[in-house]
Amino acid sequence: MEHLSLGLVGYGKIAQDQHVPAILGNPGYQLRAVATLGPPCPGVAHYTSLEALLAEGPAVQAVAFCTPPQGRHAQVRQALLAGKHVLVEKPPCASLGEAMDLVELARAQGVTCLFAWHSRFAPAVEPARQWLRGRTLRSVAITWKEDVRKWHPGQAWIWQAGGQGVFDPGINALSIVTTLLPDPLFITAAELAVPANHQAPIAARLRMADAHGVEVSAEFDWDHAEPDVWRVVIVTEDGVLRLEQGGAALFIDDIAQPLPAEAEYPSLYRHFRQLIATGASDADLQPLRLVADAFMAGRRTQAAAFLD
């Protein structure tokens, strides 16, 4: 495949920190245009809407979406209907139904759709998956704690309906675990702590299980002082596997394991090109389904008002 011409929608923190460096660092891509209402991306054609980019801008074969999930569904539909391959930052949409619609539309249009569960591309995830293959699982424990003021400062959309609150980072952990475990997970109990002045939770506790009774617990906290904790511990009959730093480090029975060097987003964009080359999509819904089920089945408690 020659250079893949790419448009980018949204130029906020995640686009600036992760997407653009990964795109520019991959010689297989050519970033042709960015649509954003904020400051333009240096050296790239600027448009204020996806509609303008598609109608007036340079030809692009694919579009990456880095906007908030609320309202994203209509934008991605527009790109799909224009015949573009799409990469959609997590969480892909504000609802499970919207995400399901995009999967079906991409299939009907015959184009690639990638839901960017970037944490699945952390260096430890694939080695962990290989080690777990064929082993008998006993339990899984997720601990995902960070400070929203540090990682998402001033982003009001996260606290609004559809923004998912603490599940914005927590869904990264769910995307890792659903990759590592062989069977689907189901919510058995959930507790969501929602600040008095917001619509989305700042903390959550989940209980999950697969059809064979393997229990999975998750504790998410978005008002946690440093150091950050991004940990998954999986107990098997043959030993204990532990991922730290969101999948950047892997331990088997407390012994550190060697890992490949490639970072998440470069791996993600390499995967996107491979999908396009083979005419495939990768739009797994399980992480978003678990969040949707937690909102549906969870018990809500009121937390103190949160001010950024």
Q: Which residues are catalytic?
A: 90
Residues 274 and 280: their CA atoms lie apart, in Å, by 8
Residues 133 and 51: their CA atoms lie apart, in Å, by 45
Residues 69 and 49: their CA atoms lie apart, in Å, by 16
Which phi and psi angles does 115 have, rounded to 5°? -85, 120
Residues 249 and 11: their CA atoms lie apart, in Å, by 29
Check if the beta carbon of residue 89 is closer than 8 Å to that of residue 99. Answer: no
Check if the beta carbon of residue 148 is closer than 8 Å to that of residue 53. Answer: no
Give which of 64, 288, 290, 70 is closest to 158, Cα–Cα: 70
User: Beta partners for 147?
Assistant: 223
Residues 214 and 174: their CA atoms lie apart, in Å, by 15
